[in-house]
Amino acid sequence: MTDIAGYARIVDEAAARATAIPQLTREGDFSLEDAYAIQRASVARRVERSERVVGLKMGFTSRSKAAQMGVFDLIHGRLTDAMVIEDGGIVDLGRFVHPRVEPELAVRLARPLKGRVGIAEAWAAVEAVAPALEIIDSRYEAFRFSLVDVVADNSSSSGFVVGAWQAPPADPSNLGIVMTFDGLPVQVGSTAAVLGNPVRALAAAARMLAETGEGLEAGSIVLTGAATPAEALRPGVSVRAEMEALGMVGFTVAPRG
């Protein structure tokens, strides 16, 4: 039997202490189901420390991200209030192991979304959208993992910045995105890279959660997944993403020391 609580403690403490750990699958193999159970148990530990779950992030919804990490299955992870970084805020790298940043479309739900929903139903549940930056931070050494490793590690969730919430556009399926470091473009892409339409990632989120009898609550934030590969953060850098029709979101990394 997989020691769900034991693995949950390992990934949770690694995240809390910002220290790298060896891949769990080097110690023992476990199923994808077990990996999600470890993820839930690790998030439960955060909730015990009075963090609040505010939403869900989808991962590997774009080919370029999947290829960057060598994992080609859709995954999800839980977002908590402690991961929220204010738009325009300053981020201290000390709380991360080896953080990277990636541009994503964020959506907020007006009503619950559960079970097998189609794109139209998923989009109808969206109250607002915003450009977002996700800071991912695998707790595994060298940012290397298998599918079950990354899922157990809450899919590398560690921080996210959401720009101004606004009314959903008529069609979010092909919005251009430019991510800059100190004003220089480092990634250029489109929301079309996210499953052809990021709303598909939202529908997939509801479907995946239904496998464990869960669902998305009204008010939940969903990050639909990176539209481009992620870029490593470095001290002092100013990061921005501009999304067509939706505007800017950004933050600055605190200088070293």
Q: Using CB under 6 A as the criterion, which residues of the chain lie in contact with ligand OOG when the complex forms?
A: 57, 59-61, 65, 69, 102, 134, 136, 138, 150, 155-156, 225-226
Q: Closest Cα to residue 96, out of 56, 53, 138?
A: 138
Nearest residue by C-beta to Mg ion?
A: 134
Find which of Mg ion, ligand OOG, none residue 138 binds, CB within 5 to 8 Å per kind.
Answer: ligand OOG
Among 79, 193, 226, 249, binds Mg ion (CB under 5 A): 226
Nearer to ligand OOG, 7 or 60 (CB): 60
Nearest distance in Å: CB 129, ligand OOG: 16
With 0-12 CB in 10 A as exposed, 13-18 as middle and 19+ as buried, what is 25?
middle
Nearer to Mg ion, 117 or 230 (CB): 230
Nearest distance in Å: CB 62, Mg ion: 9
24 close to 154: Cβ distance less than 8 angstroms: no
Among 23, 83, 107, 134, binds Mg ion (CB under 5 A): 134
Nearer to Mg ion, 4 or 83 (CB): 83
Nearer to ligand OOG, 59 or 189 (CB): 59
Nearer to ligand OOG, 138 or 180 (CB): 138
Q: Which residues of 78-100 are buried (b: 16+ CB within 10 A; e: fewer)?
A: bbbeebebebeeebebebbbbbb
Nearer to ligand OOG, 102 or 242 (CB): 102
Nearest distance in Å: CB 162, ligand OOG: 14
153 binding Mg ion? (CB under 5 A): no
Nearest residue by C-beta to ligand OOG?
A: 59
Compute how many residues bind Mg ion; rule: CB under 5 A: 2
Nearest distance in Å: CB 1, ligand OOG: 27
Nearest distance in Å: CB 58, ligand OOG: 7
Nearer to ligand OOG, 97 or 150 (CB): 150
Nearest distance in Å: CB 64, Mg ion: 12
Find which of ligand OOG, Mg ion, none residue 108 binds, CB within 5 to 8 Å per kind.
Answer: none
Q: Closest Cα to residue 197, out of 62, 26, 3?
A: 62
Task: Name the site residues for Mg ion (rule: CB under 5 A).
Answer: 134, 226
